[in-house]
């Protein structure tokens, strides 16, 4: 297995850099990556304090530094240490400068300013947490998206991920013995999306869940035939109401969220103004 030291250096929180590195690393297998994370690097002095660690653990340097002086200092260190250094946002920024006909503002952490988008995301997260697992159905009309599915079909983690993108999300577990509240069928603003999964996968996830809770794994909750009936019940409900369905069996949370955002865009084009003001962050 190949081992690599990866130095991630940012003049802000480093969140963007981490996401880029994670996405790129997902393309490789059998690699042992040792991450060295250096956020809020905004001075030559701070940078110089990091150099001994880079010297001891040579590897690839990825950075998002907008201050010209700090960037130059880092590049000098990397040349001296013979370390490859990649400014990961430069090509994108340059392309945008050409397309927009203006120069980029070289301000560290600009994407994290507490603007309207920031407060919208905070509001979305608060709403989503307060409307998890079928809670607060009286306020579902305020949601942008409502996720429905049987237990352990990734409703909650997908909801939280979408909330971090600025969407207000509610979700409801579908239980054969307990019909959803009538409010579910009367919604006008939220886009309702059904999440489903293969029964075998659900049984596996549920068993693991019970084991982590030190509970008996021989219950109806993990009975194969019972789970098949639950999935069939949910699919009938989705079909009867014309709700789009996403099979999460082989999807990551990020992939499921991306599919939902795409559906939201399609609905907006079909019904202009329905989701006005709802934009991903």
In the predicted structure, residue 50 carries a pLDDT above the cut 60: yes
Domain spanning 2-111, CATH class? alpha beta
Where are the domains positioned within the chain? 2-111, 116-270
CATH code, 116-270: 3.40.50
| Per-residue pLDDT at 116 | 66
Asked if the domains at 2-111 and 116-270 fall in one CATH topology, the answer is yes
Pick out the residues of the known binding site for ADP.
149-156
Average pLDDT over residues 175-185: 94
Rg (CA), the chain: 23
More confident of the two residues 140 and 18: 140
Pick out the residues of the known binding site.
149-156
In the predicted structure, residue 141 carries a pLDDT above the cut 90: yes
| Per-residue pLDDT at 105 | 62
Min mean pLDDT across 9-13, 61-65, 108-112, 144-148 is at 108-112
Q: Which two tokens stand for residue 39?
A: 């956020």
| Per-residue pLDDT at 159 | 95
In the predicted structure, residue 223 carries a pLDDT above the cut 80: yes
Candidate ranges 26-40, 100-114, 187-201; pick with highest mean pLDDT: 187-201
| Per-residue pLDDT at 106 | 58
Nearest to 233, CA basis, from 156, 147, 173? 173
Count of C-beta atoms within a 10 Å radius of residue 79: 10
Per residue in 225-240, is it b (16+ CB within 10 Å) or e — as a string?
eebeebbeebeebbee
| Per-residue pLDDT at 212 | 81
What is the C-alpha separation between 176 and 271, in angstroms, rounded?
32
| Per-residue pLDDT at 66 | 83
Express each pLDDT in 200-209 by its tens digit: 999 999 998 8
What is the C-alpha separation between 278 and 281, in angstroms, rounded?
9
Q: Name 91's Cβ contacts closer than 8 Å, sequence gap at least 6.
A: none
Average pLDDT over residues 99-112: 62
């Amino acid at each position: 297995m190949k081992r690599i030291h990866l130095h991630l250096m940012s003049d802000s929180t480093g969140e963007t850099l981490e996401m880029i590195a994670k996405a790129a690393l997902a393309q490789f297998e059998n690699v042992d990556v040792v991450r060295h994370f250096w956020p809020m690097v905004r001075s030559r002095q701070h940078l110089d304090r990091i150099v001994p660690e880079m010297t001891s653990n040579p590897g690839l340097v990825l950075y998002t530094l907008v201050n010209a002086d700090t960037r130059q200092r880092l590049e000098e260190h990397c040349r001296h240490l013979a370390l490859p250094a990649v400014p990961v946002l430069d090509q994108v920024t340059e392309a945008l400068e050409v397309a927009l006909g203006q120069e980029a503002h070289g301000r560290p952490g600009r994407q994290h300013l507490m603007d309207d988008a920031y407060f919208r995301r905070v509001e979305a997260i608060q709403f989503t947490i307060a409307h998890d697992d079928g809670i607060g159905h009286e306020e579902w009309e305020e949601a942008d998206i409502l996720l429905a599915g049987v237990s352990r079909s990734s409703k909650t983690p997908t909801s939280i991920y979408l909330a971090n993108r600025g969407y207000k999300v509610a979700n409801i577990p579908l239980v054969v013995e307990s019909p959803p509240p009538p409010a579910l069928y009367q919604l006008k603003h939220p886009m309702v999306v059904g999440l489903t999964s293969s029964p075998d996968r659900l049984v596996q996830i549920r068993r693991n869940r019970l084991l982590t809770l030190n509970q008996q794994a021989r219950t109806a909750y993990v009975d194969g035939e019972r789970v098949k009936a639950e999935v069939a019940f949910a699919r009938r409900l989705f079909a009867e109401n014309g709700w789009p369905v996403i099979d999460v069996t082989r999807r990551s949370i990020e992939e499921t969220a991306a599919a939902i955002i795409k559906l939201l865009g399609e609905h907006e084009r079909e019904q202009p103004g329905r989701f006005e003001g709802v934009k991903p962050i």
